[in-house]
Structure 1
Amino acid sequence: MVAPARRGRRVVWLHPAAKPVLFAASLLPFAWLFYGAWADQLGANPAEHLIRATGDWTLRFLCLTLAVTPVRTIAAQPALARFRRMLGLFTYFYATLHLVGYAWFDMGLDVADIAKDIAKRPFILVGFTAFLLLTPLAATSFNRAIRALGAARWQALHRVIYAIAGVAILHFFWMRAGKNNFAEVAIYAAILGVLLGWRLWRQWRGTALQPQRG
């Protein structure tokens, strides 16, 4: 028999309004930045603020996306899985804004200059690499893509998210290196380290518990 509190939580996650509420909440950072730019409230260097903020929100949504599986497993709330796709797509949304902000505000949308900058500066290169790796995951985050690829190949493709997390942290580290501000980098690295470490532990535990064949 399911305890009343747990049954109540399941009802909340399965409520028809849950996804629209999450969608609206995920758009709030974008709305706040848009309003700040329109009202000229982003400080002395609004372009830098927009680029930095969209990068920060990309990392936050990446952490939230990777946290869904551990949380739903530990809390025995399988219904939480229905939010993972949306969070992953918002990760890509803010990553796209981050890239567009750099290309527009820093480089004036000059493709030749952007290509030279990517080749010249390692932190731009790894950031662009993370975006490229994230693109096929966003493009295949739909049921039709899962059916076309097959579940096994789709899952194998989406495991690239772990590499993306590492590359994103490296990009963030190099961005902060010039300012000697590594506190935020350490926080995000710790969060992602715990989330990825939990997955490795689960995989190891599952392998260890498999019966040995004679």
Structure 2
Amino acid sequence: MINTLNQTARRIPAYTIYIAGIALAAWTIYAALATPDPAKVLERDLGTRGLQILIATLCITPLRWYGVNLLKFRRALGLMGFMFITLHFLTWMLLDLALRWSEILTDLTKRPFIIVGFLAFVALIPLAVTSNNAMIKRLGATRWKRLHWLAYPATLAGAVHFVMIGKVYTLESALYFLAVAGLLIARRLKSRKKAPQPA
């Protein structure tokens, strides 16, 4: 089963993730326009899709521990997640608050769930900027890997933002938070096992 999955993955070009991501974004926008409150629906759905894609990106590493190799798709998934989160942020600024800068600044300094979400977005920016071979070469593999560890706290902050948005906590929001927290803990435990033991 795992061999079949890996063989199928090898035949699928990584660029199909970009095509699928852009198509999903277009569909999300189109579907939101048919609702009574397009801005709110679009803002919510873009953020949700972005969080889901980022969680899927984080799953690629633990899947490798069990023999499933989807590493070739990780960069594309991460960038598509960042695209959705960027569109979510722009929707909030342009459509929800209509570039009313005083309200935007107030939200960014006084509303906790907005602050957490903005910090998550800011943390994703250097990851997106350095998601190319040239930056890996420029930073060096060790520094690049250390920087990209930010994907975990950034996605966790995104999950916390999602939880804080709802006035009533839902099973969906709890599952997102638990998924990211579980992935972060699993990665930390794996790193400790690989670390050399003191003599």
Paired residue total: 199
Q: Give the corresponding residue for 1:53.
A: 45
2:189 counterpart residue number: 201
> Within the alignment, does 1:27 sit opposite 2:22 as a pair?
yes
Partners of 1:19 and 1:212 in 2: CA distance: 41
Contact 2:160/2:177 (<8 A) preserved:
no
**CA distance in structure 2 between the partners assigned to 1:21 and 1:134 by the alignment:** 22
Deviation at 1:26, TM superposition (A): 2.3
Conservation of the 8 A alpha-carbon contact between 2:54 and 2:78: yes
Structure 1 residue 127 displacement after superposition: 0.8
Show the 5 A alignment for 1:80-119: 80-119=70-109
TM-score, with normalisation over the residues of structure 1? 0.85
Alpha-carbon distance between aligned partners in 2 of 1:204 and 1:197, rounded to the nearest angstrom? 11
Deviation of the 1:212 alpha carbon: 4.5
Which residue is equivalent to 1:135? 125
Per-residue Cα deviation, 1:37-94 (whole angstroms, up to 9, x for no partner): 4xx422x2121100100110111011101001111221x133x111100011011100
Distance in 2, Cα, partners of 1:150 & 1:168: 28
Query: Partner letter of residue 32 of structure 1?
Result: W
* TM-superposed deviation, 1:134: 0.5
C-alpha separation in 2, matches of 1:160 and 1:211: 25
Name the structure 2 match of 1:66: 58
Among residues 22, 34, 42, which one is paired with 1:41 in the alignment?
Answer: 34
Identity %: 33
Amino acid at match of 2:68: Q
Distance of 2:2 and 2:117 partners within structure 1: 41
Equivalent position of 1:125 in the other structure: 115
- Does the CA contact (< 8 Å) of 1:12 and 1:18 recur in 2? no
TM-score by length of 2: 0.91
Separation of aligned partners in 1, 2:119 and 2:71: 27
Residue aligned with 1:18, SS: coil
- 1:171 matched to 2:161? The reply is yes
4+ residue segments displaced more than 6 Å: none
Aligned counterpart for 1:150 among listed residues 102, 120, 140: 140
Instruction: Give, in angstroms, the shift of residue 7 of structure 1.
Output: 4.7
Structure 2 gap segments, 5+ residues each: none
**Structure 1: stretches of 5+ with no match in the other structure:** none
